[in-house]
Amino acid sequence: MSRPARSWRKHFADERGATMVTVLFFFLCLGGLLSILLLQEQVDYWEMHMQQTADAISKGARAAGKWEYVDEQGAVQKRLFATAQEARRYEADIVRGAREEAELLWGLNTPKWDNWGDRTSIVHQRGESAQLYRQGIYHVSVGMKKNIPIFWNRFQLLLERVSQSEI
């Protein structure tokens, strides 16, 4: 006693839309998962660019403000200057100070960040700590704040990257 095989059309007609609801639910879940995955990849992309920007600023500022000289004992000494004006007081031969170069590099990168984030910020030398210049360290922190709509809510995304270079 075998039953005759029903065609797919009759099978779907008997379902009366239950399969369609299941398929729609499946695609909705798949779309939500895909949107979360794409958001995570976008955040990783922003973090990568933020780290590259922070590294470029700290290394460029360090290279611009660095001054090497030979002291009385004949040893090579290194010093990091914040501004060219400060360097002139010590008769150092530099074009721009570390802080001036960092501002210039940040200005070149700002248009890119203004398109990506609602608010971007940069903190030099942990609030301009003078002892970091004396130690020959340039520290920069780059931050971005962005409101992101996810489904029916808006979340605030805060990203911060730090880079430090020493002479």
pLDDT tens across 16-70, in order?
A: 667 778 888 999 999 989 988 998 998 899 899 999 999 999 999 989 988 888 8
d(CA 159, CA 167): 27
pLDDT tens-digit map of 70-121: 888 989 888 888 888 988 898 888 888 888 999 999 988 877 777 777 888 8
Asked, for residue 92, whether it belongs to a domain, the answer is yes
Q: Which residue has the higher pLDDT, 127 or 29?
A: 29
Residue scoring higher pLDDT (11 or 164)? 164
**Phi, psi (deg, nearest 5) at residue 141:** -125, 125
- Whether 109 is covered by a domain: the verdict is yes
Structural domain boundaries, residue 101: 43-166
Establish if 35 belongs to a structural domain: no
Q: What is the pLDDT of residue 59?
A: 92
Residue 101 lies in a domain: yes
Residue at 15 is within a domain: no
- CB 148: neighbour CB atoms within 10 A? 13
Based on the number of CB atoms within 10 Å of its own CB, is 55 exposed (0-12), middle (13-18) or buried (19 or more)?
middle
CA atoms of 84 and 122, how far apart (whole Å): 21
Domain-located, residue 62:
yes
Is there a domain that residue 63 lies in? yes
Render pLDDT for 131-142 as a digit per residue (tens, 0 to 9). Answer: 777 788 888 999
In-domain check, residue 78: yes
What's the structural domain count of the chain?
A: 1
Residue-level pLDDT at 6: 64
Answer whether 120's CB lies under 8 Å from 133's CB: no
